[in-house]
Amino acid sequence: MLAVICLLGGLLSASLVRFSPGYGMDERELDPRLSQASVEAIRNSHRLNAGLFSYYGHYLAHAVHGDFGSSEWLQRPISSLIKERLPVTAESVLGGVSLAWLFALTLSLAGVFFRGLYFDISTTLFSAVLIALPAAVVAIFSVYLRTPVFVAIAVVTFPKLFRYLHNLLNHAYAQPYILAARARGISQAKILFHHVLPLASPALFALLGVSLAVAFGAAIPIEALCDSPGVGQLAWQAALNRDLPLIMNLTLLVTLITVAANMLASIAHERVL
């Protein structure tokens, strides 16, 4: 599955790069210092990969050796750019997702545990206001308040997570056997951890991958506006500078990470239960 997505995504991005306006033009051809033979050599190197499939084959052959081509805008190998930027984003995204999960799980569990109407209304309203904030506005507020980048990512991810978790746990709690357990006088905590959570667990594991995708999406505006030198900021700059090879490789990378996280989550779920 992972391999199929890799290959398909690669083909898609290769065709976008290949058919983008201006492909195959090289500024070096205009350099007066180059002789006619050198210009001819540059043109020939492009001509070799003129067809989509030969271009794609060329790209794949280099990609397996860790060479993803080079950025048109920065004139640097894409692999070194990713190596430099990925740790920054990975740190803030992981931090943000963990913080969001911590808050969302605590609040929704507390909601089921206490079952208070006012608690329910206030947490729902709180998350509704947060969900209505565009990620870029959250980024601006985080610049005002000088919070770390991962907090901003958590603020964007939290309301979406909370809404799912809240519905999920409430749905699980409404099952008839929970009522039976309560009627027998089993403690609320035991009901929660022995009956409600196991029922909801498949969906919880599925949410792990989704929350990661949300966090990576939020990383673009947040890193761009908070000036955090990560992959998201790089993608934004690449889009502004029309650097298609770079942004395509970044998109592919993030897709692979989310798909891999989804698969890990489903494997972990099979092992645990």
Tell me how many degrees the CA angle 33-38-44 measures, rounded to the nearest 5: 145
Residues binding another protein: number (CB under 8 A): 42
Q: Are 115 and 169 a contacting pair, CB within 8 Å?
A: no
Instruction: Choose which of 72, 202, 239, 269 interacts with another protein (CB under 8 A).
Output: 239
Per CB under 8 A, contacts with another protein among 193-232 are 213, 216-218, 220-221, 224-225
Q: Is 137 in the site for another protein (CB under 8 A)?
A: yes
- Position 149 contacts another protein (CB under 8 A): no
* Cα angle value 22/23/27 (rounded, 5°): 70
> What span, in angstroms and rounded, lies between the C-alpha atoms of 19 and 6?
20
> φ and ψ at 70, to 5 degrees?
-130, 155
| Binding-site member from 97, 208, 254, 265 for another protein (CB under 8 A) | 254
Indicate the residue among 115 and 242 with the shorter CB distance to another protein.
242
**140 binds another protein, rule: CB under 8 A:** yes
Q: Which of 70, 170, 201, 255 forms a contact with another protein (CB under 8 A)?
A: 255
According to the binding rule CB under 8 A, does residue 86 interact with another protein? no
Round to whole Å and give the CA distance between 248 and 20.
12
Give the x/- contact pattern for another protein in 30-69, rule: CB under 8 A. Answer: ----------------------------------------
3-state secondary structure 48-92: CCCCHHHHHHHHHHHHCCCCCCECCCCCCEHHHHHHHHHHHHHHH
Residue spans of alpha helices (H) in the chain: 2-18, 36-47, 52-63, 78-114, 117-131, 135-145, 149-173, 176-183, 188-191, 197-226, 231-240, 244-272
Where do we find the tokens 């989704």?
A: 210
| CB of 204 or CB of 226, closer to another protein | 226
CB of 78 to another protein, least distance (A): 14
- Taking the complex as a whole, how short is the minimal distance between the CB of residue 112 and another protein, in angstroms? 19
The residue type of 244 is L
Quick note: the x/- pattern for another protein over 105-134, rule CB under 8 A, is: -----------------------xx-xxxx
User: Which 3-32 residues touch another protein, going by CB under 8 A?
Assistant: 5, 8-9, 13, 16, 20
User: Applying CB under 8 A, which residues contact another protein?
Assistant: 5, 8-9, 13, 16, 20, 128-129, 131-137, 140, 144, 213, 216-218, 220-221, 224-225, 235-236, 238-240, 242-244, 247-248, 250-251, 254-255, 258-259, 262
